[in-house]
Structure 1
Amino acid sequence: MTTGNPLPEINKKRLWLSTGVTVPVAGLLTLIVIYKAGEYGMALFVLIPLFLGVSSAVIYGRKQPISRRQAVGAGLISLGVYAAALLVFAIEGIICVTMAAPIVVPITCIGSIIGHGILNAKNDRAAWVILLLIGSIPATAFMENSPPPLHTVVTSVEINASREEVWKQVVEFSELKEPDEFIFRIGIAYPIHAKIDRKGVGAVRHCNFTTGSFVEPITVWDEPGLLKFDVLEQPAPLRELSFWNINAPHLHDYFISKEGQFKLTALPNGHTLLEGTTWYYHDIRPAFYWRLWSDYIIHKIHGRVLEHIKTNAEHAE
């Protein structure tokens, strides 16, 4: 053993062997899940990270004793190389890899601990466990086809202006200033301005974002209390940070805004309570995790628009 080197040379070779075997298999499974099954779900965000951890730990510790910490380290190295490969081969961009990290990192660690436990059991089941994981990943992906539920996000702001004045700013609004929020500056799509072709039900409103336009046919025109609309077309939810032109499938038809509305309520103090509501669904799992991101981003988009309307209404002549 070389002085100051925490691992013997044979350990290093086996460590990189574990990565060299595990990552290509995980990459192939990822391509099957995304491009054949067309799913961003439990197979991609749970089973593949679990496989990365289990396989790396088992191969690394197959013919030598390793600690649990070393097993976890092997899993995280494989996960890091796997993530880098997604970026290099333009399968994903930096934003989506970063958003997935809080769920895939712990799952990879759990997989590594499971792999370490299998080694310590001193039986011959390790290969079977890995094969079972490999087989279950595409099988799970092809079975993940349940319709996603519709979710609602409501954001509100109190405005020191009458409903009539606020209504004018709601129907269409002037160009917004450049955002200060970090999520918008790194590529999440944000609204720029809104235009409408005429008044009343059947009018079409265009809410223009940095990635394109939301086409919104008006379904309720109750001036000055309620403006409700469907979403006929929508642009990509973000521009990925990448050295390449990323056009991942999840940028199309996996996050869908269905309806929206602005509700204006007169308050006793003469102010107006303005509520912005979006009804949406996303076909990405585990839903509880990705809903946290979706709700947060929609609230930030709502907030950007509502604050702009508030400023314009309160300073209208």
Structure 2
Amino acid sequence: MNASRSEILHRVAYLAGSVALIASQNLVAWFARQTYADERARDLEFWLTPLSSTLELWGLPAIWGAVIFAYCLLVAWLLALLSFKLTQRTNRGFVLAVLSVVPVVQLVAIALNAILPSKDALGEEGRATRHASKSVALGLLAGVALIVFAVLISAVTFGAYGWGLFVMTPFLVGITTGYLVNSESDFGSSRTMKLAIASAGLGSLALVVLALEGIVCILLAAPLAVPIVMLGAALGRGLAIARHNRRNPLASVAVLPMIFMLEAAIPPEAPIATRYEIEISAAPDMVWQALTSPEPIEVAPGLPALAGLAYPMSGKLEGVGVGAKRIGAFSTGTATEVVTEWKRDRILAFSVEDQPPAMEEMSPYRRVHAPHVQGYFLTGETRFELMPIGSNRTLLRVSSEHKLRIDPVPYWEPIARLAIRQNVGRVLEDIKEKSERTRHSLALARRDP
């Protein structure tokens, strides 16, 4: 009876302490908003991710931002500590302990961790299982923390998207998880890799929940990151088996900030030149009319719309000739362009002075702290050429210049080219349909008396 009462007291204390820690974040956020926010809105972001949403406040001093971030890490560490200790007492495994530090789902995980009955542990086998569960939980949590840390430092702080974030970070996540989960006993190659991928997945989920990244960017990076995580996990397991002690072989994590700083100082800038063309059954003057028309693009946007990428909706010329303004309406905002070459029915070229975000991240929040949506994919000059190729036939050719500022370029460039091809192909198809529709209408008008 005494043992049962003691266990109940531990569970109640765990539940009360965890809820108090989570509620304290809302208290800190409430105080910051009362002091620095013009509006006192208590929206969904405030209740689910109070500290990260508070960092959006205008006029919030930098020292407050540092304090809030540090407090967020402290709360996560204390929640993990409480959850791991209860997990050890109840032999419940590691999944709920890890989920207890993931915002949004943490309340459910904490409640389940507190009310689910204990599992019996028998002798040495039970103690080994308990220690293994703790090692796995620590490995998963370390991987999650490393991903969040890397994005905060590389992307949010330095604005660097390169080899350090997309290659070095997943490699170190794999090493960290692989080493820690095998620190007590060998879990095997397959299980280690699965746990490392799970750690990366939980870290990605944490990025979405903390409004540091959107779903689309994570999905795009996954094919590159997953094999690297698996490679790192194999190396981490090998280190754990060779050393088989608690010494930390992961000092290389300390070089990440230096890599991020170097990449921020020397950002990549890969030029991308494209050229596409389409044959249109209409005279050049009809094609020119469709090209310069302010009417909305009627062809469905397709893949770019599904992925949240920016796609053109319409274009309006303000004036004629070189120097005229062109206002391009995109799904993510408005582009300001200047005409650099104008030969009626033959050539229209313009350069982009100001462009909207390259994408709109898929996220449950109004705003995502992901700098890559602005300034990391730039469009320079776009040039349309209309070439007569026969009676009432025109070859419409469009060439454009872009700059990609994200590494590794060999991985991201094909994705960028695919998006360009989808958008340009849609524009060309729309011009073709409008031009041929005009020709057909004029032909019908001539037949009627």
Calculate the TM-score normalised by the size of structure 1: 0.91
Tell me the SS of whatever aligns to 1:174: coil
Structure 2 counterpart of 1:131, which letter?
Answer: A
Q: Tell me, yes or no, if the aligned pair for 2:319 and 2:325 is still in contact at 8 Å.
A: yes
Equivalent position of 1:295 in the other structure: 417
Are residues 241 and 26 of structure 1, via their aligned partners in 2, closer, same or farther at CA, if it must alter by over 3 Å? closer
Cα distance, 1:173 vs structure 2? 4.1
Matched, 1:59 2:180: yes
Q: Which has the larger radius of gyration?
A: 2
Q: Provide Cα deviations, 1:13-37, integer angstroms capped at 9, x if missing partner.
A: 3211211223213322321111222
In the alignment, which of 315, 318, 338 is matched to residue 217 of structure 1?
Answer: 338
Q: Tell me, yes or no, if the aligned pair for 2:173 and 2:229 is still in contact at 8 Å.
A: yes
Q: Provide Cα deviations, 1:123-166, integer angstroms capped at 9, x if missing partner.
A: 779733x111x122111111111451321122221111112211
For CA contacts below 8 A with separation 6 or more, give which structure has more relative contact order.
1
Cα distance, 1:304 vs structure 2? 1.1
Q: Tell me, yes or no, if the aligned pair for 2:274 and 2:399 is still in contact at 8 Å.
A: yes
Tell me the SS of whatever aligns to 2:270: coil
Q: Tell me, yes or no, if the aligned pair for 1:154 and 1:278 is still in contact at 8 Å.
A: yes
**Structure 2: any 5+ residue segments left out of the alignment?**
1-119, 122-127, 443-449
Equivalent position of 2:395 in the other structure: 273
Structure 1 counterpart of 2:233, which letter?
Answer: S
Q: Tell me, yes or no, if the aligned pair for 1:154 and 1:299 is still in contact at 8 Å.
A: no
Are residues 20 and 146 of structure 1, via their aligned partners in 2, closer, same or farther at CA, if it must alter by over 3 Å? closer
Cα distance, 1:294 vs structure 2? 0.8
Measure, in 2, the Cα distance between the counterparts of 1:206 and 1:302. Answer: 17
Structure 2 counterpart of 1:90, which letter?
Answer: A
In the alignment, which of 223, 241, 253 is matched to residue 375 of structure 2?
Answer: 253
More helix by share: 2
Tell me the SS of whatever aligns to 2:361: coil
Measure, in 2, the Cα distance between the counterparts of 1:72 and 1:28. Answer: 21
- The equivalences for 1:74-153 within 5 A come to 74-122=195-243, 127-128=248-249, 130-132=250-252, 134-144=253-263, 145-153=266-274
Matched, 1:202 2:319: no
In the alignment, which of 385, 404, 423 is matched to residue 282 of structure 1?
Answer: 404
Calculate the TM-score normalised by the size of structure 2: 0.66
Structure 2 counterpart of 1:94, which letter?
Answer: I
Q: Provide Cα deviations, 1:36-78, integer angstroms capped at 9, x if missing partner.
A: 2220111110111111101000000012112111221121011
Measure, in 2, the Cα distance between the counterparts of 1:185 and 1:63. Answer: 45
How many positions carry a matched residue from both structures?
A: 311
Equivalent position of 2:24 in the other structure: none
Are residues 173 and 304 of structure 1, via their aligned partners in 2, closer, same or farther at CA, if it must alter by over 3 Å? farther
Matched, 1:305 2:424: no
Measure, in 2, the Cα distance between the counterparts of 1:309 and 1:247. Answer: 37
